[in-house]
Each structure stands twice: as C-alpha cells, then as structure tokens.
Structure 1
C-alpha cells in the first residue's frame, strides 16, 4: 500500500498546485475530502480521519501560502497595514478552532465541511461578489473579523481566501489588493492551524508512520513539493483557457467532493 499512497499524495499535490495556479483557489477544498478517503482506505480510526485530514491539509498549505504571499508582495498587492491588524485575530481564531474541532465528531466535521463546500461551490458558480458599501473597520473590528475568518478557516482547513476576499471587497478594497492581502493572511492561518492540530492530536492514539498529532508528515511533504512545482504551470495555463467556464466546472466538482466527504465517514 505504501507505493500506492505515495503516488496518491504526489497526484493530489499536483492537482492542488495546478488548481491553485489556474483558479486561485485554496487547496483545502480539494485536499480534505480526498485525504479523508485516503486515510479511511489506509485503515486509520474512523473517528480520527477527518481531524487528520484537516491537520494535514492545513500543514500542506503553509508552503503554498508563502509562495503566494511573496508573489503578491512583489506586485505591491498586499495591504500590510490591514494584515498587521487582522493577523492577531486570525491567529487566535484559528488556534482556538482546532481545540473545538478536536472535540467534535468526524461525522459533524464532515457535515460542516460538506456544507462549506456547497457554499464555496455556489459562490464560484454564480460568481457573486458583494457590493462595496463601507470602509474598513478599526483595529477592534479587524481583530473580530480575523477571529471569525481564522476560526472557520481552521475548521475547514482553508487559507481563508473564500472568506477574506469577499470581506475586504465589501469594505471597498480593490479586488486585486483583496486577493493579495488574503494571500498574506493565509500564512498565519495555516501556521496557527497547523500548531493547533499538532497540539490537539498529540495524545491521540493514531497508529501509523509519519503521524505527528493530527498531521501526516509524509503527505505534507509530498503534497507541498508537488503543489509548489505545479502552481506556476496552472498560472501559465490560466492565460490560455476560459477560466470563468473552468470555475463553473470546478464548482460542480466541489459538490461531488462534498458527497464523497460525507460518504467516507458515514
């Protein structure tokens, strides 16, 4: 089974990286349902497979977040003044959410994630964007918003773009700046979430090689390497294909992944 798993992680990382470059979507939306199925196939305890998938996905996002953040920073697309104010709330929310996730059942987490996939799918299919209507809140408001974004992001193991970009756009931030700032915010989310899943899963008995807390290190390394290599390929192809149509196709795929996620644990 070892060679099949290695191939599966390599293929998953390749797909995640390609989609990130092509559509600008976070890898967690794809990684979590696929990893859940792989971990069930691998024979891990059913009550821990979703937690393990969330933690592994969150750790895998770190490398992608750094790469994306640097790319947007070079183009002047990151509002660092916003990042500095929202990041503390992001870290607190993401870290605390991992403690909540550790107490929830695999079935509940799978259902919650599936519902989020449906939301993300609808948002992508309809391409609905909030109408800018106000200015950004102050330090307290950004801390509160960061806490909510960080919490939900850690519970569904995403870099936060699905939530951060609409939030910033709603507050009259240019969409390119919103995407760049969201990319920078993805790093504290992934780091805080990874530490949280590592801590919360440390005392859990999950027999297997390369398992540290709720993180499968083998999967993280292979997925991260391939994702890093394939993201530029996806970005290159994005200039040659009709991305709006691809987004609608991917939205339908997300619905299929939601069904797969539920069926894996029930």
Structure 2
C-alpha cells in the first residue's frame, strides 16, 4: 500500500492526536506514577469517534490498543524494578495465576459487551479508582502478608478481569491491594509492574482475536489493536516520561494527584452522561 501526499494529509489529524495522547500519558506516568491506560483509553475513544470512526467499535479498540501499549512500556518498567530487586516473584506467582484466569474471563466478557456497556464499566471503575487515589489506602496496613489461596487467586481474578475490561496494567488496583496486605511500597510497585505484563500480553492478544474481521476500523488495525497508535504513542510516551518525573520533584505532587482524581471524575461523569443518553 503506497502513501501519497493526500493520504498523509488525510491521516494527519489522527497522527497528531495519537502523538499528543502519547505525550500526555507519558508525562502523567512520570509525574504521578500512574499507568497510561487511564489516559489512553478515554483519549483514544473520544479522539477516534470525533474523527468519524464507528463508536460501536472504538471503545473496544481503545481498550485493546491501550493494553498493547502497556506491553513494551510495562516490560521496561518491570526490568528496571527487577534490577533493583523490587519484584516479588513469590507474589507474582501467588497472584498471577488468578490474574491470567481473570484476563481470559475479561476478554470473553468484552467480546459479548457492546460499546455502551464497556463505557459504563470503565466510567464506574474510574470513579472508584479516583476515590482510591484520594483516600490512598496504601497508608493502612490491615494485614501482615498477602493471603494464600484461594484468596490471592480470587484477588488476582478481580485485578485481571477489571484491568482487561478497562485497558489498564492493573497497578492502580494491585498496588493498594498489596500495600494493605503489608507489602512495602517499593516492592508493591515493582511487583505490580511485573503483574502488568501478566495482564497486558494475553489481554492484548485476546483483543486482537475478538476484534478480527470487524469493519470500519482505523487504518493499520489488527482486531481491536491499532498498530499505528501503538507505534506513535510508545516513543512519545517514553520520551516525555522523564520530564514528568523531573517535574514531580518541583511540583506539589499530592495536590496534582488530587487534581488528576478530579479529572478522572470528570471523564467518568462525561462517559456516564453520554451512555445514559443525556449528552
């Protein structure tokens, strides 16, 4: 397939939007230590639908593409934490089995849901995650250790299933969970990065499969994963993340986290409003 000047001009708005989403996701990841999926999914969904792509498939595509983006970025993060000895492989094994089951179940459910149902799940979960960000339950050590089976398996299933349906790496859920269970913060964050790989790889593949053959997709899509977005978002996100990390040392991060939680509530409310037919 040859690209002429007219095709480049036609796709230029999409290219600029994808690059901008990558910049925003990377900066916030470095600044607040949050996963990019919380930004990528609504960013991709609203951008693609505004460009005229079929809303019925764009929520699935946004989730699938976000999961695919997490694979290389999550690998880089996990490797860095591994070198520092901050990945608890015992925890990965204990929670990871349940996560894989949750990913499979989440993918099957996603295949059966329409766009509005996917938006409802994302919006409600985002509202809850905003509350978690404000409350910061990591301050409370309610348990001395992560429970054994079957509780760890059930927790993993919940983390894997919800993360798959939302298009996130799961750290926003798994870090508070492990912290409440008495895991030190640096180990919880490092382990969560490894668990993000356990979530994102099978989930991204699953979304490629369940989206196979769908029509009306943006160019260069494999199922519910857009390769063009993948190639554009990752480098911009990786380049900008260090700037966010640098800014974190100069800005009041606690206030910024509160501001981002308000932003999450806004995105959640907007999505709920549109699904309920009032927007």
In the TM superposition, what are the counterparts of 1:154-193 in structure 2 within 5 Å? 154-193=164-203
Residues in 2 aligned to 1:165 and 1:97: alpha-carbon distance in whole angstroms: 20
How far is 1:126 from its partner?
3.0
In the TM superposition, what are the counterparts of 1:45-64 in structure 2 within 5 Å? 45-64=54-73
Aligned with residue 113 of structure 2, among 90, 104, 109: 104
Corresponding position of 2:148: 138
Residues in 1 aligned to 2:239 and 2:149: alpha-carbon distance in whole angstroms: 37
Residues in 1 aligned to 2:83 and 2:217: alpha-carbon distance in whole angstroms: 43
How far is 1:98 from its partner?
1.3
Secondary structure of residue in 2 paired with 1:204: coil
Aligned with residue 90 of structure 1, among 80, 99, 111: 99
- Is 1:153 equivalent to 2:163 in the alignment? yes
Runs (4+) of structure 1 moved beyond 6 Å? none
Change (3 A) 1:162 1:208: closer
Residues in 2 aligned to 1:46 and 1:242: alpha-carbon distance in whole angstroms: 38
- Is 1:209 equivalent to 2:223 in the alignment? no
Change (3 A) 1:207 1:177: closer
- Is 1:74 equivalent to 2:80 in the alignment? no
Q: Residue 37 of structure 1 contacts residue 261 of structure 1 at CA under 8 Å; is this kept in 2?
A: no
Q: Residue 56 of structure 2 contacts residue 114 of structure 2 at CA under 8 Å; is this kept in 1?
A: yes
Unaligned runs of 5+ in 2: 1-9
Corresponding position of 1:25: 34
Aligned with residue 242 of structure 2, among 225, 229, 232: 232
Corresponding position of 1:255: 265
Q: What is the Cα-based RMSD across aligned positions, in Å?
A: 1.7
Aligned with residue 222 of structure 1, among 232, 250, 259: 232
Residues in 1 aligned to 2:273 and 2:66: alpha-carbon distance in whole angstroms: 19
Q: Residue 97 of structure 2 contacts residue 156 of structure 2 at CA under 8 Å; is this kept in 1?
A: yes
Corresponding position of 1:42: 51
Q: Residue 107 of structure 1 contacts residue 262 of structure 1 at CA under 8 Å; is this kept in 2?
A: no
Corresponding position of 2:3: none
Q: Which has the higher contact order (CA 8 A, sep 6+)?
A: 1
Residues in 2 aligned to 1:63 and 1:228: alpha-carbon distance in whole angstroms: 10
Change (3 A) 1:114 1:183: same
